[in-house]
Amino acid sequence: MPLSVAFSEADPRTTTPVSDLSQTGVFVHTDEQLPIGSVIDIRFTVFPEEPVLFEGKGTVVRHTDDPRGMGVEFLDLSHGAREVLREIQIRHEAQKGRNTLTRSHPGLRTHGLVAKLIEKA
């Protein structure tokens, strides 16, 4: 699923886009790639008009140069976090056919993603 969100390792006012949200992970577009194996906390909201909050942990599993960034795989998601991902996907599918502000930008619009480094590889 395409996604446009904010990401911050330390400062929530600093944002970086992410994309490709799925049931298994997300891609973070960043020039400052954390080492593969790094464990991070991830938090973001989707659908600002009726926010849905996602919170979970992930592991950096890959780096790419085009686009520059890192793939993060979710770790041990709680039942609640899995339900949030399911709700995001259902709402995204429902909005595909509706003419909304999100239709003017590919994917979803989100804000407030915060990732905190737990440990480095």
What is the DSSP-derived secondary structure letter of residue 33? P
The mean predicted confidence, pLDDT, of the chain is: 75
CA distance 38 to 63: 12
Q: Number of structural domains, the chain?
A: 1
Strands 68-75 and 52-65, by their bridges, are antiparallel
Residue 56 belongs to a domain with what CATH number?
2.40.10.220
Q: For 23, phi and psi rounded to 5 degrees?
A: -65, -15
Question: Domain range spanning residue 16?
Answer: 3-119
* pTM of the full structure: 0.68
- pLDDT, tens only, 10-68: 555 556 677 788 889 988 888 888 899 998 877 777 776 777 777 888 899 999 999 99
The structure tokens 């991070």 sit at 40
Neighbours of 61 (CB within 10 A): 14
**To the nearest whole percent, how much of the chain has pLDDT over 90?**
19
